[in-house]
Structure 1
């Protein structure tokens, strides 16, 4: 029966949604029927196809009806008006859907009174709170696009993010007045305000219009403003809602920053679109996590890999078993702690997914497979046109066959994840970045077949024989540390400026037991002139904590290519091992707030996990 049901669903998808003719549909269904093996695979396929079908049907319905996010939210308000929409854990303040709607209307009205019009950009620079959601939602109602700025940024990076967005104003939180001074120092930049006052609702014309910008460092360079259109917001929120079988009765605990797509789309999106109550935490706290979940009767929690490790590092407490959480939703949970996390905290389901803000190749682990970040059908891969393709391990460049087309990976072979771009399909389009040059760098030609185009994820994954996908590594000049993407180009520029323009190479190194990669900086200092105490003080003012190098290496000079690009391969291989490196090495001792010399004894202590990173 299961096999027959899957074949029926497949018939419906290929004929009605994909639009293939019968002479292609019937052989495909037959191949599936004959080639499918085992109940487990059929169950996985059924769950995945269900999420795809619901997502496709709803996105296309909203496209046809021109249902933008404000219009969808209006339907949510009509359905759940007096229900609690948002709870801000910092104060305990609760907003109903009606109150959130009224607040966002006041925002829209204020902006209109101040002369803002459709297509204008206003930056939001503040910490998590309910008003954050009301601000960008109010802007969306009149077609004003929000630029969601990372509140950890300062100096050049902050000014850069505001500048590239062409923001006409910045809404800032009073807690970030130092950031305000930084941005305001740029002449003729932006208006600053933080208060809203009346009532009005307007909507923009198309689901393909821009909703807001989320900044991502991508694979190289300074932060880039990724374009999020209305249909993308819906798609990202709907994928996890339908795929992981959430309901509007769930209560979601969102401790992730709202300038991230995980916090603002995957999390808050369940409130805006599906009527779910979302608890917004100002900042993640490992010691208060389970107390909050119990207090607000949360049934779903959001995480990044780091959060799970931090929670496991906490002493065992009664509160960690007193909750009603049935699902942990997020990405980056290491396979080595996956089952321990489920068992200790009594979490029945890990809803691990993969997907960058701008990507068209999102994945979901809908069957609770330990360690997997998603699944794609091996038998009928063209239903969801994504693929792992071979790359050069040193340069990460795509490897092509004699016909010029990229070579797909075999099961068990690592490769870069790519997604075929179909611009007239809201599920397959790639909206890119504000900067067209940055957009072009994420697109490759002749990937699936001659003449097509595909999105380059910049991530290396591995697929098993059943189609389960496992994250392996990030490519390029970006690495992930403490839940944040760190752009080495950005950090190199800042450190070089602090060190009187010395050559600085930044890269990520693996530390046993730690999620992601710790930052390491190789600094050319032949005269031993660096004042480490001054350097630390200056660095703390210029870089957020997650971007500060954990390790330093001082050497006479750094190797460059013929085009003056830094060579990082050997540096990454040497890592921070004093037995392999004759140069001076230092470790950032967070408890003392300074760099200390890294010798073999300290090295062993770090490897054993005794020293906190």
Structure 2
């Protein structure tokens, strides 16, 4: 007996026993945490494997110092006769795309354009759009992808903020170019017109179609090499204040987005992808066409989205993967059921903004095996992906790595301002199921973590938050408020009061406020987004102080139509005697946003924009909007 006790009391046995007890105690105390880690391990392992693939390829491309055009050249060599783009009744092979791309490069090289020169691209979706981008990038010129909905001041501003030396415009947008020219814009600018089909051009415009026929489709001979960390595009974002900002997209970021989308969503070169989104945005112009340029995936381009043609197109072109934004899904599910709803071969739809309320209905009705929801901004480093179809989630982070991963939610107050600890002055992490603004740690020259900013350096600095968790550290401010649940899934809550999203576009409230104030003299105007049942995003609403009752709503409607794209025009206008002053208006804006356009509780006059004019919003019209009878 004594011998047994001696063995049991040896230091090694005692030590192991203590460790066992401590381990069991930890398991009991943190049993919920260990349970969550166990339950989410299949998701996290799959995510880690796919993420590792992305990192490996980014590392390889960085070592090679390759640019987007060089990767495309390798794909052309591999699939010369394969269809690169389907467009209407056209089929463009990879060889044909390459030929026009090289002609664009050689033409503009001959015209004297060099590395670092920016060229505005103002065209609707078509294969030539991609060739213009690629061709310019091959010689190091930087295409500035301008939203084709812009007119007058926003259009001229976008051209100027990117310091463009020329404008390539599609003939279909000639009237918009002419309007700016008549107002004194584009003075001395080289204007190149594409796709005129023999129609007369604007005065001083250069016939680009003819010019491209007179040059060779051989690879351009450039003196200044273009590499992995050079600028590729300017993509415009509404941001949070003022007119559109030109976000810098480097070749490295294009690689990150395309490789990320490919591996995280499990895409294949055998897929046929449907892209009905505008190519001037990241989802269409990077994630969409990137699958063709980097992997040889055939892509279907459509000039503009059509709900009635969506599934017919998918059937016609034998589409297997389709892109979406939330508005597309809402439009599709609002269409009357047809025999085409399930005749397609679509195995995956990926994008952002699919609302939880319609997610399962959408999947069930159209028979979509997998939804790949994602979250991110054009310029930011806060990117999340939902790889397992969790309803409503925009992405996830492993719960075991929340303290060491470079993305974090921090506490905000009711106005959206970040809250700091009174003692340390540092930001405060949110707990599970608390809402907070998403921040991303900035790591220079890292394709995944860098924040490349905008053409305007001052705009870049406004998006950087310093001394977040330690003195001097730097984080990118997403401007978005999200919630993370116990299992590490993120859910979109809302943008701050500085922007709202409508018709698939981000709208800067400051920009709209500026336009209204300039039209209405010095009257105060506050713009915000309001929710409408059954609609994706928030519709614009303007509260205008007009104590004297002098506002001419007809003039206002006409002016807004001229200066703002359709998605940015306030759908509702509320006329008040005064707007309470609160410094930045944020608190008052929050109150107004909560009140919305409910005429049952608002005593001020409220107007609704329809038929190019504002009409009084009465209870009958209000009920029609709320019930979905009124098409917005």
Using the size of structure 2 for normalisation, the TM-score is 0.88
* Distance in 1 of aligned mates of 2:286 and 2:269: 16
Decide whether aligned partners of structure 1 residues 164 and 237 sit closer, same or farther in structure 2, where only a CA change above 3 A counts. Answer: same
Q: Map 1:104-183 to 2 at 5 A.
A: 104-183=101-180
Q: Contact 1:360 / 1:419 at 8 angstroms: preserved in 2?
A: yes
Q: Secondary structure at the match of 1:479?
A: strand
Q: Map 1:457-496 to 2 at 5 A.
A: 457-496=478-517
* Distance in 2 of aligned mates of 1:37 and 1:392: 29
Partner residue, 1:357: 378
* Distance in 2 of aligned mates of 1:36 and 1:73: 46
Q: Secondary structure at the match of 1:568?
A: helix
Deviation at 1:609, TM superposition (A): 1.7
After alignment, is 509-518 or 495-504 more displaced?
495-504
Deviation at 1:257, TM superposition (A): 0.4
Q: Map 1:129-528 to 2 at 5 A.
A: 129-184=126-181, 185-186=184-185, 188-194=187-193, 195=208, 196-197=212-213, 198-199=216-217, 200-201=219-220, 204-381=225-402, 384-400=405-421, 402-528=423-549
Deviation at 1:80, TM superposition (A): 1.5
Deviation at 1:250, TM superposition (A): 0.5
Decide whether aligned partners of structure 1 residues 488 and 295 sit closer, same or farther in structure 2, where only a CA change above 3 A counts. Answer: same
Partner residue, 1:62: 61
Q: Contact 2:415 / 2:587 at 8 angstroms: preserved in 1?
A: no
Partner residue, 1:568: 589
Decide whether aligned partners of structure 1 residues 529 and 124 sit closer, same or farther in structure 2, where only a CA change above 3 A counts. Answer: same
Query: Deviation string for 1:393-443 (max 9, x for gaps)?
Result: 224224336333221111101111111111032221110111111111111
* Distance in 2 of aligned mates of 1:166 and 1:274: 33
Q: Contact 1:417 / 1:459 at 8 angstroms: preserved in 2?
A: yes
Partner residue, 1:99: 96
Deviation at 1:600, TM superposition (A): 2.5
Q: Contact 1:219 / 1:478 at 8 angstroms: preserved in 2?
A: yes
Query: Deviation string for 1:175-194 (max 9, x for gaps)?
Result: 11122123433263521103
After alignment, is 310-319 or 575-584 more displaced?
575-584
* Gap runs ≥5 in structure 1: 1-30
Partner residue, 2:77: 78
Q: Secondary structure at the match of 2:362?
A: helix
* Distance in 2 of aligned mates of 1:270 and 1:422: 27
Answer yes or no: is 1:607 the counterpart of 2:629. no
Q: Secondary structure at the match of 2:371?
A: strand
Deviation at 1:556, TM superposition (A): 1.9
Partner residue, 1:10: none
Q: Contact 1:47 / 1:367 at 8 angstroms: preserved in 2?
A: no
Q: Contact 2:463 / 2:476 at 8 angstroms: preserved in 1?
A: yes
* Distance in 2 of aligned mates of 1:599 and 1:581: 11
Q: Secondary structure at the match of 2:399?
A: coil
Decide whether aligned partners of structure 1 residues 595 and 323 sit closer, same or farther in structure 2, where only a CA change above 3 A counts. Answer: same
Deviation at 1:543, TM superposition (A): 1.7
Query: Deviation string for 1:366-390 (max 9, x for gaps)?
Result: 1111111101011023664111111
Decide whether aligned partners of structure 1 residues 527 and 253 sit closer, same or farther in structure 2, where only a CA change above 3 A counts. Answer: same
* Gap runs ≥5 in structure 2: 1-29, 194-207
Q: Secondary structure at the match of 2:453?
A: coil
Q: Contact 2:503 / 2:537 at 8 angstroms: preserved in 1?
A: yes
